[in-house]
Amino acid sequence: AQSVTQLDSHVSVSEGTPVLLRCNYSSSYSPSLFWYVQHPNKGLQLLLKYTSAATLVKGINGFEAEFKKSETSFHLTKPSAHMSDAAEYFCVVSDSGRTYKYIFGTGTRLKVLA
């Protein structure tokens, strides 16, 4: 069965410094992985997805993630944090079978300090 583990429940960075949100996955076959962002009182917005093409995936708003099979990781990074990046981020693995249902990590709350 697939699962994802987000290693940090809270991350604080200063504005203009790099962001690293960590995610490890477990899957018995080649997974499809996603990062979503949820701003306060908002829905979930897709940041980026990995579906077995390039291992370095670029997303919206300057975010990117690298799929590392040897480390079973899919960490999310951004070179320079902006105040508007403050939100909750979810790492997701898709049940790439018949249903494609999502299995969510527990989320990482990103705080950006001025």
Partner 1 sequence: DSGVTQTPKHLITATGQRVTLRCSPRSGDLSVYWYQQSLDQGLQFLIQYYNGEERAKGNILERFSAQQFPDLHSELNLSSLELGDSALYFCASSVKGVETQYFGPGTRLLVL
Q: Applying CB under 8 A, which residues contact partner 1?
A: 32, 34, 36, 42-46, 49, 51, 90, 94, 96, 98-104, 106-107
Shortest reach from residue 17's CB to partner 1, in Å? 28
Are 8 and 91 a contacting pair, CB within 8 Å? no
- Decide whether 15 or 59 has the Cβ nearer to partner 1: 59
User: Which residues make beta-bridge pairs with 3?
Assistant: 26
- Decide whether 73 or 94 has the Cβ nearer to partner 1: 94
CA-to-CA distance for 67 and 59, rounded, in angstroms?
13
User: Which residues make beta-bridge pairs with 93?
Assistant: 33, 103
Shortest reach from residue 95's CB to partner 1, in Å? 8
- Decide whether 70 or 97 has the Cβ nearer to partner 1: 97
- Say which DSSP state 18 is in: -
DSSP-based three-state secondary structure for 84: helix
